[in-house]
Chain A
Amino acid sequence: AQTVTQSQPEMSVQEAETVTLSCTYDTSESDYYLFWYKQPPSRQMILVIRQEAYKQQNATENRFSVNFQKAAKSFSLKISDSQLGDAAMYFCAYRSSGSARQLTFGSGTQLTVLP
């Protein structure tokens, strides 16, 4: 079974600064997908960024980018130019490339953005 570990329960960052959230995972599969989701106090889980394991290039979405290290099974999220609206719980998630769509989530990192 796959496991996802987020070792930082809480992080804080000054507005306009950069912060990196860590995630490691364990799998015996060679093809899979990794995601970062954001869950604000409204509870709605919002997809931030995704990475296909077969792609060597790190995914980027505006101010959000990842550092995907397949051999190390590491998948960190970098948020640049942090904004107050980035404050939320962030979850790293794994999904097998098979037909089942279930996501395996980490325990989350609560990000606080300081004005």
Chain B
Amino acid sequence: ETGVTQSPTHLIKTRGQQVTLRCSSQSGHNTVSWYQQALGQGPQFIFQYYREEENGRGNFPPRFSGLQFPNYSSELNVNALELDDSALYLCASSSGLATTGTYEQYFGPGTRLTVT
């Protein structure tokens, strides 16, 4: 069973640029969630995708956008980067979208984004 993978591992961008982060979900999982983890803080929910549709969004501006593909991999795009966007970006996958069951989220190793 292949776990959640993310690319790239590290990334350095300049303020105002755009960035795309990628995530491959664990085999058999069709739901992907993205989180932003600033240094020394807990992860903050950005948004979630289920079967290629956005299914929930946290308190993040529209310049944070995403995609999910038919193979359930996902991208996080951030436009007009700001210094405060510097963080660890975590992707998590889970199976199904039912109201029952714990459906644990399995996390990838994250992408460390630095905006200068």
21 contacts between A and B (CB under 8 A): A42-B109, A43-B110, A43-B112, A44-B107, A44-B108, A45-B90, A45-B107, A47-B105, A47-B106, A91-B43, A93-B42, A99-B97, A101-B48, A101-B94, A101-B103, A102-B58, A103-B33, A103-B35, A105-B43, A107-B41, A108-B40
Q: Which B residue sits closest to A106, measured CB to CB?
A: B42
Q: Which of A33-71 contact B (CB under 8 A)?
A: 33, 35, 37, 42-47, 50, 52
Contact B109 A102 (CB under 8 A): no
Point out the residues of chain B lying under 8 angstroms from A37, CB to CB.
107
- Known A-B contacts A44-B109, A45-B90, A99-B98; the reply to A105 vs B103 at CB < 8 A is no
A contact set with B: CB distance below 8 Å: 4, 33, 35, 37, 42-47, 50, 52, 91, 93, 97-108
